[in-house]
Structure 1
Amino acid sequence: MTSAPRPFTAEARQRLFAAFAVPNFKRFVSGQGISLVGSWTETVAQAVLVLQLTNSAKAVGFVTAARYLPVMLLTPYAGLIVDRSDKRRVLILTATCLAMVSLLQGAMVLTQTITLPAMFLFALAFGVLSALDNPARQAFIPEMVGTGLIRNAVTLNSTFVNVGRAVGPIVAAGLIATIGISWCFLVNAGSFLCVLYALATMRVADLHPVAPTQSARGQLLQGLRYALTVPEIIGPIAMMALIGTFTYEFEVSLPLFAHVTLHGEATTYSWLIGAFGAGSVLGGIYCVVRPETGLPRMVRAALIYAAGMSATAMTSSTAVAVPLLILVGFASIMFITTGNSTLQLVAEPRFRGRVMALWSTAFIGSTPIGATIIGYIDSVNPRLALMTGAAACLAAALVGTWTNRWHR
């Protein structure tokens, strides 16, 4: 005889959303959530615009690479800057500058003066600012909620990030089909106001700041050496380096997959990336309900990721690709959230900015290499580009399994 499921009580809800009881965190996530809808609206628009200007998958790959090249080159040092700085002030600076970049780009698209070289320059500017913004945002979460709520806060933040991933492409499709692609960039510029408002109105006295690291020689290498000695830090980073380079290149692989393989229209890509985002939201909810950290869960997520990518690569139907990409999104956020939470909990506070910078480099900074490679493979065969991503997931699962055995 099976027992009846326990009701979802008010106490259970309070436990699942515990970090939202912290006003600063709730304000921060709300602002970031709205801003990320704008960011993904712009991300979709950028890929569509480059395809409209060039009709070239390689051009999409090169622009995407330009967007993330500074992240690869600058993020490790940016992590040290974050460890030495007031993280809230860093985020105010980056949000202001990112808004200005999107505003100028939108104005050029609106006035039909945008060119491919200009898009490269905007992509580089975005990358420079993101190199500083990403580790600052990650390292700021523990300062808002304290050590006891880190896992819950990271999971909730990741879930809301992926709400933006799900909603942004839908907004982009609507704007492109109605008032024009330029408004995708202008909407993103306006969305940063929500971030700035959240940061400006925080109760500074309620934060849990880590004492800034005093400037000294060799601190960058010191952080790297520290990461290399902790299996539960270097293992997730190595796994993410593989997946970030070859799998998480959807801005490059999905536009041509939608156009060539699925014979879709401009909005087909939005449906595909929206399905991925919807799956990410479901994965985030799962991680909230079933919180877990460590390499074993990352290995399981990588295997599900590989299966979903392989199945997507073999389909020729949008109706089949959409639910498969929901599975891919589910596995993706399960992998990312588990890795992020693991690093946040394991890393010593004085090294947290540099550790999260290494994570950002593996996740986002690997894109210039991956986008170029996947862009080339994509131009030959979009299915092969997705299969390459699936193979990287399998390789990551092997790395995680080996590292976990070494750790034991």
Structure 2
Amino acid sequence: MTVTARPRVFEPFANSGFSLYFTGQVLSNTGTWFQNLALSLVILEVTGSAQSLSGVTIAQFLPLLVLSVPAGWVADRFRPRTILLVTTLLSAIVVGGLALTTLDETPQLVAIYALVGALGCVNTFERVAAQAIIFEIVGPAELTRAASLSTIALASARSIGPGLAGIAFQSLGPTACMLVNAGSFLFVFLSVLLIRPSRLHPRARRARTDAPPARRPNRPLATLLVVNTVVALLAMNLGLVLTSTVALTFDGDATAVGAAHALNAIGAIVGGILAAGRASVSVRSLTAACTLFGVSLLANAAAPTLSVFLLAGPLLGLGVGYYQGVLNAAAQASVPPPLIGRTMSLVTLGNYGMVPFGALLMGWVIDQSSGRVALAIGGTAAVACAVFVAARLGRRPSRSPGVEPEADGPAQSEPSTRE
């Protein structure tokens, strides 16, 4: 009898390239929290409206609806490392413009929305490339584990970013927060620059002269994309929902807002580690992940006071981290390497492209009722998605541990990316 050893959760960090990548993502997302929290509080102070705040979310993520698919094509044609070097420099320039805008005591919302929209265009290409580069850094053997661990970068940033941002906003103001984010992009540029191109694993693609094989429907991937879209629309607007719940429903200050996000992130780190520790990951794993996420959202929605809400924060983070870790790993494992860029562009389209619509909906819900109602809607949607995955895939056996049936057959390959 063959015994399969349980994989070591943190094995990808033995790869210096992945360590550099992970560090850069932590720095980038920490800086983003400085920017987002500062802009959120500035707009709430000026307008007192969650719908006005949702305008920032819409401007930031609406470009994804138009540019995600082209970004996937670019990530499959060019080295993601090159894309990241370009996008991080452009992001630093745009965030510098936001810093200038916030020097005004009553900043113009139109200018903020325009600059955030420009940043969203750049970030679309950056987000897809940041997912596509994981395979090139670690190779196929460590792909699902590294993809799950990459979500911990988001959680780690949430554990330190909001709290530090709240302190910086209170003592230094919004402009300083913008400058911190601009600096974080420059750190990311340096970390990517230090990743050696010669040590990357090239992804293959079919030769153009080859006849394409007969395509089979990829039922697991289609299921994942549906779940991703529904959850993103109704349950993943946590930046807006948590900030509005603390500030508007519970009358908390900037420090309380930062604490809510930080406590949420502590649980998300644990959730990401649990996802990375799975011996195998498939789309069917989303049944448990969506259930955990939904229950944690409903528990937070039931919190009667700010103190109880903060205490429940780590549970919500656990659900978010586990769900995101499983989702990213399952998506990359469900397709051949040549299609990772385009597949992750579809995941990005669902995950972030629905954010503007979710922001509009949740902003209206919060203004009409409360943030707790918005959390309850998200929790119900996540549980419904768990039922959907179980009904659609529960009786179909996996073909191999950790890998879903591929949409295409074996492909002949040649180098697919270039500097």
The answer, yes or no, to whether TM exceeds 0.5 is yes
**SS of the residue 2:8 aligns to:** helix
Q: Distance in 1 between matches of 2:395 and 2:41?
A: 45
Number of corresponding residues: 389
- Determine the structure 1 residue equivalent to 2:143: 150
> What residue is the counterpart of 1:402 in the other structure?
391
Question: Unpaired runs of 5+ in structure 1?
Answer: 1-10, 217-221
String of CA shifts for 1:274-310, please: whole Å, max 9, x gaps.
1211111111222233444123431112112212211
Unaligned runs of 5+ in 2: 398-419
2:118 paired with 1:125: yes
CA contact (8 A) 2:288 2:386 kept: yes
Shift of 1:77: 2.0
- Write out per-residue CA displacement over residues 34-57 of structure 1, whole angstroms, 9 at most, x where no aligned residue: 121111221222211211121111
1:279 aligns with 2:272: no
Counterpart in 2 of 1:334? Answer: 322
1:219 aligns with none
C-alpha separation in 2, matches of 1:75 and 1:314? 36
Which whole-Å CA distance do the structure 2 matches of 1:215 and 1:33 have between them?
38
- Is 1:39 the equivalent of 2:32? yes
Instruction: Say whether residues 1:56 and 2:69 are aligned partners.
Output: no
Residue 322 of structure 1 pairs with residue 310 of structure 2: yes
CA distance in 2 between partners of 1:214 and 1:102 (Å): 41
Whether the 8 Å CA contact 1:20–1:26 is kept in 2: the answer is yes
> In the alignment, which of 378, 382, 389 is matched to residue 378 of structure 2?
389
Q: Distance in 2 between matches of 1:291 and 1:39?
A: 32
In terms of mean alpha carbon deviation, does 324-333 or 295-304 score higher? 295-304
Q: Deviations over 1:312-367 (max 9, x none)?
A: 11222222112322111111111111111111122111211110001111111110
1:348 paired to 2:336 = yes
Alignment pair present for 1:380 and 2:368 = yes
* 1:156 positional shift: 2.1
Superposition pairs for residues 252-271 of structure 1, below 5 Å?
252-271=240-259
Q: CA RMSD in A?
A: 2.2
Are residues 265 and 406 of structure 1, via their aligned partners in 2, closer, same or farther at CA, if it must alter by over 3 Å?
same
Indicate the SS of the match to 2:195. coil
2:81 corresponds, among 74, 83, 88, to: 88
- Structure 2 partner of 1:364: 352
Which stretch shows the higher mean deviation, 95-104 or 111-120? 111-120
SS of 2:202 mapped into structure 1: coil
Whether the aligned pair in 2 keeps the contact of 1:244 and 1:362 (CA below 8 Å) is: yes
**Any conservation in 1 of the 2:34–2:165 contact (CA below 8 Å)?**
yes
Is the 1:47–1:251 contact (alpha carbons within 8 Å) kept by the matching residues of 2? no
Higher helix proportion? 1
Paired with 1:119 and 1:188, the residues of 2 have a C-alpha distance of 15
Distance 1:251 1:359 in 2: 19
**Distance change (3 Å), C-alpha of 1:144 and 1:404:** same
Partner residue, 1:5: none
Alignment partner, residue 68 of structure 1: 61
> What one-letter code is carried by the residue in structure 1 that aligns with 2:124?
A
- Contact 1:86/1:212 (8 A) holds in 2: no
Structure 1 residue corresponding to 2:283, chosen from 286, 292, 295 = 295
The Cα shift of 1:407 comes to: 4.0
Greater mean alpha carbon deviation, residues 342-351 or residues 370-379: 342-351
Q: Normalising by structure 1, report the TM-score.
A: 0.90
Counterpart of 1:368 in structure 2: which amino acid? Answer: P
The residue that corresponds to 1:7 in the other structure is: none
Q: Does 1:306 align with 2:294?
A: yes
By how many angstroms is 1:155 displaced? Answer: 2.1
In the alignment, which residue of structure 1 is the partner of 2:184? 191
Matching residue within 210, 230, 234 for 2:222: 234
Aligned to 2:157: 164
The letter of the residue matching 1:251 is G
Distance 1:314 1:266 in 2: 22
Are 2:229 and 2:351, in contact at CA under 8 Å, matched by a contact in 1? Answer: yes
Alpha-carbon distance in 2 for matches of 1:172, 1:244? 25
| Partner SS state of residue 147, structure 1 | coil
Structure 1 counterpart of 2:137, which letter?
M
Q: Is the 8 Å Cα contact of residues 145 and 277 (structure 2) preserved in structure 1?
A: no
Q: Which amino acid aligns with 2:376?
A: M
> Hey, what's the Cα distance between the residues in 1 that align with 2:266 and 2:58?
25
| Contact 2:168 2:177 survives alignment (8 Å) | yes
**Correspondence 1:27 to 2:27:** no
CA distance in 2, matches of 1:299, 1:395: 10
2:295 partner SS: helix
Identity, in percent, stands at 26
What are the equivalent positions in structure 2 for 1:197-208 lying under 5 Å apart? 197-208=190-201
Amino acid at match of 1:400: V
Output the amino acid matched with 2:162. P
2:9·2:273 contact (CA, 8 Å) conserved in 1?
no
